[in-house]
Structure 1
Amino acid sequence: MNTAVAPLASAAARPALLVPALLACYVVWGSTYLAIRFALVSFPPFFQMGTRFLAAGGLLMAWVLWQARRGATRLPTPWEWRNALVIGALMLGGGMGLTASAEQHVGSGLAAAFIAVVPMLVCGWGLLFGQRPHKLELAGMAVGVAGVLMLVRGSQFDASPQGLASIAGATLAWSLGSVLSTNRLPLAPGAAGFASEMLCGGAVLMALSLALGEQFAAPPQPLALAAWAYLVVFGSLVAFSAYLYLLAHASPALATSYAFVNPVIALALGVLVAGEALSGGEWLACGVILAGVLLIFRGKTASARG
């Protein structure tokens, strides 16, 4: 998960922004995996993610406060702040923190391909909460599992058990947080919910960074600083704003289709820009995973129509 944060309210009246918003979620979020890798040159993983979300969440909350004074929105309630802490800890603390940690050991494109299983895990968690998936969603889950089994047998994950454990934990935490945020622990509506989640998640990430004793090996390099700023401005503020717009103006299947496109973007950028190499078997595994995600989206669309 393109528009700037400030024009969120006025964007609601411009359905012509649908295509730019989709492109923002596709390209920007797809490119964040490579930006995380570049930022890791100078910023430890949990510190990098923590400062990113505290900065983005602070800027977004400042805009929410300004809107609240005008009566255009409201601030989160105490219960919504509690929910934001739980969801932020899962999706950002566990999901994004462990993703950055995994990219210390495996390529950015391969990490993104593994994260493509999130829609399958969301379906799996949904079963525990009484949700009955469509038969196409079940088929997609089966295909996706097969793709994951193929992927983890590839050379990169086989050589890095720590990377595999980190990215597996990231997908489990992100998907559980996604399910809880829609079923049991709803956030405040709109930008206030995203801001509170980023602030709480950023605080959890900084606590983890402190507990792990993360330290800078050297002063931040210009490329790492630029990558970190890109993650704050584009990866968090711009893409999240675009995602909010899509949730309000597009079908849920279209709004969440970034999960299918992002891995393709990340793989292409990893190979073309960072010189990452994938074996034939890893390319095939990525294709199988994406086929499973596509089946899940088709199943969700069919369920919505039904």
Structure 2
Amino acid sequence: MGKPQSSTLIILAFFSIYVIWGSTYLLNKIAVTELPPFMLASIRFIVAGILIFILSRLMGISISISKRQFINTSIAGFLFLTLGNGIAVWALKYVDSSFAALLISGQPLVILILMRIVEGKKIQPMSYVGVVLGVLGMYLLASQRQIVLQEGAIVGIAMIFACMISWAFGSLFVAKAELPSNFFVNTGYQMIIGGVLMAGFSLFYEDAWSWPSQWSGKVQLSMILLVVFGSIVAFTSFNYLLKVVSPEKVATNTYVNPIIALLLGWYFLNEHITLQSIIAAVILLTGVYFINTKKKLRGYSRFFSRKRNE
């Protein structure tokens, strides 16, 4: 009885980080047109964290954690949310949501390289092909003249690469760190800590804070969706997956996220998709596929059942 339930949870968790996170690029892009990036992210995560703790108490789940767990969740919240998400949202002031999603789709490449450097993990032959294709795809994507010449585009691209590195470090750290055993509580602490740190950044940059009643209807709706689905549902799923499958497998959400972001950005924001972007995306995602494929190209039937230590 345990295995079917576990497999179902893993599938649902992957669906959350695949589809829901793909839509957050659009929601953040809408919100960041009116709100300062760090203020936006801070409110989103603090509210989500408080709601998680309230739900935990209602369900009879203890939110008490050890000192070591608090330190580790603080580190994870800083790497994932303060840097990883906060900088990515900031970058959306300078680049399209679809472009950001395509560039971030190279996340497995960054994780693979860090696993090689930090953990000494051997890179499989097929992964070398993926690295070459990934680098080529990123270059084609980020070197487009019409994108590079946009005001602030270089800054936005640099921010995205910085957030990818931070997110990769966070993924490797969380996979081995001692964290609260309840994934809901773990997410709540990371949300609040990450949100508080982002509030500090916001105050440092002297952002002009405002009440939700002053926001437009579309920004209010975007924030609600970001808090409930983007933060509580998807991020809890993400933390859960990091403990039951390997980090590079979790990073496969980058197969689907850019496709969702491309379609939503094109439909709702009229974002232009160039032919070079499409070619770069195909090359990049092909590279990500090779990175996450075993040497003998084993089928997807074992995808959800692999252990972290394989």
Structure 1 length as normaliser, TM-score?
A: 0.85
Determine the structure 2 residue equivalent to 1:30: 22
Structure 1: state its 5+ residue gaps.
1-11
Question: Residues of 2 paired with 1:223 and 1:125: CA distance?
Answer: 39
Deviation of 1:158 (Å):
4.3
Determine the structure 2 residue equivalent to 1:213: 206
Superposition map of 1:1-306 within 5 A: 13=5, 20-67=12-59, 70=60, 75-129=64-118, 130-154=120-144, 155-159=146-150, 160-183=153-176, 185-189=177-181, 190-216=183-209, 219-243=214-238, 256-299=251-294
With over 3 angstroms needed to count, the CA separation of the structure-2 counterparts of 1:82 and 1:246, relative to structure 1, is: closer
Contact 1:31 1:266 in 2 (8 A): yes
Deviation of 1:115 (Å):
0.8
Deviation of 1:15 (Å):
5.4
Determine the structure 2 residue equivalent to 1:6: none
With over 3 angstroms needed to count, the CA separation of the structure-2 counterparts of 1:279 and 1:135, relative to structure 1, is: same
Amino acid in structure 1 at the alignment position of 2:133:
V
Deviation of 1:25 (Å):
2.7
Give the total of aligned pairs.
292
Contact 1:152 1:158 in 2 (8 A): no
Question: Residues of 1 paired with 2:210 and 2:49: CA distance?
Answer: 27
With over 3 angstroms needed to count, the CA separation of the structure-2 counterparts of 1:105 and 1:247, relative to structure 1, is: closer
Question: Residues of 1 paired with 2:242 and 2:79: CA distance?
Answer: 21
Deviation of 1:242 (Å):
4.2
Q: Deviations over 1:114-139 (max 9, x none)?
A: 11111111111111222223222232
- Report the 3-state secondary structure (helix = DSSP H, G, I; strand = E; otherwise coil) of the residue aligned with 2:292: helix
Question: Residues of 1 paired with 2:58 and 2:189: CA distance?
Answer: 15
With over 3 angstroms needed to count, the CA separation of the structure-2 counterparts of 1:182 and 1:242, relative to structure 1, is: closer
- Report the 3-state secondary structure (helix = DSSP H, G, I; strand = E; otherwise coil) of the residue aligned with 2:293: helix
Q: Deviations over 1:139-190 (max 9, x none)?
A: 212211111111111122443111112111111111111112224x443222
Q: Deviations over 1:7-64 (max 9, x none)?
A: xxxxx94855665544333221100000001111221111111111111112112333
Determine the structure 2 residue equivalent to 1:7: none
Question: Residues of 2 paired with 1:109 and 1:241: CA distance?
Answer: 24
Question: Residues of 2 paired with 1:256 and 1:170: CA distance?
Answer: 14
With over 3 angstroms needed to count, the CA separation of the structure-2 counterparts of 1:127 and 1:259, relative to structure 1, is: same
Q: Deviations over 1:234-284 (max 9, x none)?
A: 111122344466668878776543221111111111112211002211221
- Report the 3-state secondary structure (helix = DSSP H, G, I; strand = E; otherwise coil) of the residue aligned with 1:48: helix
269-278 or 217-226: bigger deviation: 217-226
With over 3 angstroms needed to count, the CA separation of the structure-2 counterparts of 1:13 and 1:286, relative to structure 1, is: closer
Contact 2:133 2:287 in 1 (8 A): yes
With over 3 angstroms needed to count, the CA separation of the structure-2 counterparts of 1:66 and 1:157, relative to structure 1, is: farther
Q: What value does the CA root-mean-square deviation take over the aligned residues?
A: 2.9
With over 3 angstroms needed to count, the CA separation of the structure-2 counterparts of 1:46 and 1:119, relative to structure 1, is: same
Structure 2: state its 5+ residue gaps.
none
Structure 2 length as normaliser, TM-score?
A: 0.84
With over 3 angstroms needed to count, the CA separation of the structure-2 counterparts of 1:170 and 1:255, relative to structure 1, is: closer
Query: Percent of counterpart pairs with the same letter?
Result: 27
Amino acid in structure 2 at the alignment position of 1:54:
I
Question: Residues of 1 paired with 2:80 and 2:230: CA distance?
Answer: 15
With over 3 angstroms needed to count, the CA separation of the structure-2 counterparts of 1:15 and 1:176, relative to structure 1, is: closer
